[in-house]
Chain A
C-alpha cells in the first residue's frame, strides 16, 4: 500500500513539473512581452530597460532556474500589467469561478448518476431511451452553443433571466445550467453502462437468488461495484472545477479565472498565465491522485496490480 501511494505521488509530482516546464518554455519561446506591453512606437532603450527589469534579457535556462527557485519559495511572480502578485490576482478570481462550477458539479451528480442508474435498471423503457438521447445531446452540443441558445430563449425572447454579469445569484442561473447539462449527460451515460455491466454479473444473480430484497441487491451489491468508472469521471469533473469554465465565463461575462486567463494571454502577462496554468494543472493532478487512491480503496485488486 505504501509503495502504491509513493509511486502515485511521484508520478503526480513529475506531471506537475512537466506542465510547469512545458508552460515556461512555450510561453518564453513565443514572442516578446515587451512589444505587447509597451506598444510599437517605443524607443529601443525603453524596451531594453523593460526586458532588463523583468529578467527577460537573461538566457532561457537562467530564467528557468530562477523561476523554479521562486516557485519553491512560494513566489509566483508579479503581473507585468498590474505590478501585483500574480498569485493574489489569480486567487481573487477563484471564488467567482467556484460560484459557477460547484453548483454545476452538484447538479451533475444529483441528476446524472440517478438518471444513469435508473436507465440501467429499466432498460429499453421510455426513460432509458430519454436518458440515452439526453446523454448523446450532452456530448454533442458544445457549451458555447448551449449557452447562446439559452440566452436567446431566456434573456432575449422571454426576457426572464439576465444574459451576463455577476450582480445577483439570478445571474448565475444560465451559466450554471449551461455547464451542467453536458456533464449530466456524460455522467448518466457512464453510470448507465457501468450499472448494466455490473447487473449482468453472476454475483447479482446469486444475491437475488438467495432472496435479498431488490433494493439491497442494487444498493449493496451493484452500486459499489459500478463505482470505479463513475468515480473516474467524477474525479475528472472535480479536477476541472477551476479550468472548466473558460468558455462559459466568456459567454456570460463572468469575472472568473477563465476571463482572467483570456485577458492575460492577450496581454502576454507571463507570470499570471503561468500561475493559472500551474494551479489548473495542480487541481487536475491532485484530483487524479485522489481518484487513483480511491480506486485502491474501492477495489483492493488494483492495489497489488497498479504498483508496477
Chain B
C-alpha cells in the first residue's frame, strides 16, 4: 500500500478485478471465510509432515506446559513438553482422513443400496428399508463404543465403523430419486435403447441426482468429525502415540486448570471446521438443489 498511481488503473478492469467483483456478487462473506478455512485445513492435512515444526512425539522436557505465544512453541507445549502446534497439525490430518474416508464409504454404500432397492423393488427394497430403520434406531455412538472397546481400536476399523454412519440417508435419498428418475423420459429412453441397468444408473441417473447426494455429504461430514472426536475424547477412538482432534481435547482435559491451551486449540479447530462445513454446505444446498428445504 505504498504508492498507487491512479492514472495507471485502466477503465476496463482486468481479469483479476472482474473475478473479484463476480466472486463478491456470488459468494457471501461468511461462505468465503468458510471456504478459506476449509482450504487451509486441507492444505494442512496434505502437508502436515512438511509444515509442522517438531515431531509429534518429540519431547522438550525443559519446557513442559509452557505458555502459548513463545517463538519456540507458538501454541505452547503439553505435559510432556510436546509442541501443541505440531500435534494440532497432525491431528487435523488424522481427523480429516477419517472423516473423508468414512463419508465416502457411507455415501458409496448407501447410494448403491438405494439404487439396488429402486432397481429390484420387492423383497430387496423391503430389506434395504428395514436395514435403514435398524440403522436409524441404533444408538450409533454407543454401538461403536462397544465395538471399539471389544475389538481394540485401529485406524482401519475406525474408518470402516464411521463409514456405517449415515448410510441410510443416502440409501433413502438415492432410492427416492432413482424411482422418480426412472419415471422420467431420459431414463426410460436409454433403457429403450438397450442400456444395461449399470449404465442407466451410473451414466444417466447418478449425474442427475449427484447434487442432492453431495449436499447430504456436507451434512454427514461434520457429524462424523464430531463422532470421531467424541470417541477419541472418551479414549476409544484414535490411540496414542497417534493423535486426533478429539484425542487432544481428551488428554488436555487433565490439565484444564494449569494448561487450558492444550484443550482449547483443538476445540477451536473442531468448531471452526464443522462451522465452515455447515455454512458452505447450506450455501451449496441453495445453489445446487432448490428442492431441499
Which B residues lie within 8 Å of A14 (CB)?
130, 133-134
Contact B274 A140 (CB under 8 A): yes
Contact A15 B149 (CB under 8 A): no
Which B residues lie within 8 Å of A27 (CB)?
146, 150
Question: Number of contact residues on B: which range applies?
Answer: 35 or more
Known: A23-B143, A243-B139. A156 touches B151 (CB 8 A): no
A173 within 8 A of B: no
Known: A140-B278, A247-B234. A156 touches B139 (CB 8 A): no
Contact B139 A281 (CB under 8 A): yes
In the bound assembly, the distance between CA atoms of A104 and B113 in angstroms comes to 37
Contact B230 A15 (CB under 8 A): no
Which A residues lie within 8 Å of B222 (CB)?
139-140
Contact B130 A247 (CB under 8 A): no
Known: A27-B146, A30-B150. A151 touches B226 (CB 8 A): no
Contact A26 B147 (CB under 8 A): yes
Which B residues lie within 8 Å of A197 (CB)?
293
In the bound assembly, the distance between CA atoms of A96 and B137 in angstroms comes to 23
Q: What 1/0 mask marks residues of chain B from 107 to 147 whose CB sits below 8 Å from any chain A CB?
A: 00000000000000000000000100110111101110111
Q: What 1/0 mask marks residues of chain B from 206 to 235 whose CB sits below 8 Å from any chain A CB?
A: 000000000000000010001001100110
B257 within 8 A of A: yes
B253 within 8 A of A: yes
B136's nearest neighbour on chain A, judged by CB, is: A288
Question: Number of contact residues on A: which range applies?
Answer: 35 or more
A148 within 8 A of B: yes
Is the contact region of chain B dominated by helix, strand, or loop, or is it mixed? Answer: helix
Nearest-Cβ distance from residue B269 to partner chain A, whole angstroms: 10
Nearest-Cβ distance from residue A195 to partner chain B, whole angstroms: 12
A141 within 8 A of B: yes
Stretch of A44-52, A67-75, A204-212, A262-270 with 4 or more beta carbons under 8 angstroms from chain B:
A262-270
In the bound assembly, the distance between CA atoms of A92 and B52 in angstroms comes to 49
In the bound assembly, the distance between CA atoms of A133 and B136 in angstroms comes to 28
Contact A156 B256 (CB under 8 A): yes
B68 within 8 A of A: no
Q: What 1/0 mask marks residues of chain B from 133 to 171 whose CB sits below 8 Å from any chain A CB?
A: 110111101110111011110000000000000000000
Contact A148 B147 (CB under 8 A): no
The residue among A144, A148, A246, A262 with the most chain B CB atoms within 10 A of its own CB is A144
Which B residues lie within 8 Å of A23 (CB)?
143, 146
Contact of B267 among A26, A31, A145, A243 (CB under 8 A): A145
B149's nearest neighbour on chain A, judged by CB, is: A265
Contact B151 A265 (CB under 8 A): no
Which A residues lie within 8 Å of B65 (CB)?
none
A257's nearest neighbour on chain B, judged by CB, is: B142
Contact B142 A277 (CB under 8 A): yes
B35 within 8 A of A: no
Which B residues lie within 8 Å of A142 (CB)?
226, 229-230, 233, 246, 270-271, 274
Nearest-Cβ distance from residue B83 to partner chain A, whole angstroms: 21
In the bound assembly, the distance between CA atoms of A137 and B230 in angstroms comes to 17
Known: A18-B134, A30-B147, A250-B234. A144 touches B249 (CB 8 A): yes
Known: A144-B249, A156-B257. A268 touches B137 (CB 8 A): no
Contact A148 B279 (CB under 8 A): no
Contact A145 B271 (CB under 8 A): yes
B263 within 8 A of A: yes
A280 within 8 A of B: yes
B260 within 8 A of A: yes
Contact B271 A140 (CB under 8 A): yes
Residues of B participating in the A interface, judged by any CB pair closer than 8 Å? 130, 133-134, 136-139, 141-143, 145-147, 149-152, 222, 226, 229-230, 233-234, 246, 249-250, 253, 256-257, 260, 263-264, 267, 270-271, 274-275, 278-279, 293
27 cross-chain CB contacts under 8 A: A14-B130, A15-B134, A18-B130, A26-B143, A27-B146, A31-B152, A136-B278, A136-B279, A139-B222, A140-B275, A142-B226, A144-B229, A145-B270, A148-B256, A148-B267, A149-B267, A152-B260, A246-B142, A246-B145, A261-B146, A262-B145, A265-B149, A268-B149, A276-B142, A281-B137, A285-B137, A288-B136
Residues of A participating in the B interface, judged by any CB pair closer than 8 Å? 11, 14-15, 18-19, 22-23, 26-27, 30-31, 136-137, 139-145, 148-149, 151-152, 156, 193, 197, 240, 243, 246-247, 250-251, 261-262, 265-266, 268, 273, 276-277, 280-281, 284-285, 288
